[in-house]
Amino acid sequence: MIFENGDRIVFAGDSVTDMGSAQPVGEGLFDNVGRSYVRVVENMLATWYPERMIRVTNSGISGNTSWDLLNRFDRDVADLAPDWVSICIGINDVWRQFDCPAMPDPHTTPEAYEANMRAMIEKVKGKVKGIFILTPYYIEPNPADAMRARMDEYCAICKKLAEEYDLIFVDFQGMYEAYCKIRHSSYIAWDRVHPNQVGATLMAKEFLKACEFEY
């Protein structure tokens, strides 16, 4: 398992990372870390690796786009002196193009998204042990669906950047696509975005698979 005793992991993202965490940074007692996959990751690390004290920090804020996360990245991520950084952003970059089509201001083109992701990566690259790039997703198995097709473009950007910068890539979209071959997306999320605890567990499992986690 790649995390060592004393490591700090900072999870940056939007609502699917946030899920009720303390703002702007959630960790520690009670429900400060929220109820997302971040909480499940923390639970599983503490359960299977009790000898390793690993600090888990949730820096997700609901509604964030890649622009929003970039604007607060220094305060909520880089300045926390993390050992590992996880970035999961892009759902709102795509979603606003569909639920607010007449309002171009909050829209983020693929080119702008890639530039924002690069800027965040370069803020911490070489200063941390590793960076995770987690894809945004839309829990829609039909690849011809307009929003799913658009989301796939942003997922491809994540994969491209992970390969270019030699980062750890976690494909949430691919994971959900495989799951939806067995169960309908409503089993995870009625809006096909915000997961219940089954979805949070699936995401945590997919994340830990990239961490050489041993059960």
Cβ atoms within 10 Å of 24's Cβ, excluding its own: 12
CA dist 70 and 48 (Å) reads: 33
Catalytic, out of 74, 79, 99, 191: 191
CA distances from 122 to 47, 167, 210 (A): 33, 12, 21
DSSP run (H or E) holding 59: strand 55-60
Catalytic, out of 14, 15, 93, 185: 15
184 is catalytic: no
- Identify any residues that bridge with 170 across adjacent strands, giving them in sequence order: 134
Strands ordered across the beta sheet of 8-13? 55-60, 8-13, 84-88, 130-134, 168-170
15 is catalytic: yes
107 is catalytic: no
Catalytic, out of 62, 68, 83, 194: 194
Catalytic residue positions, numbered: 15, 191, 194
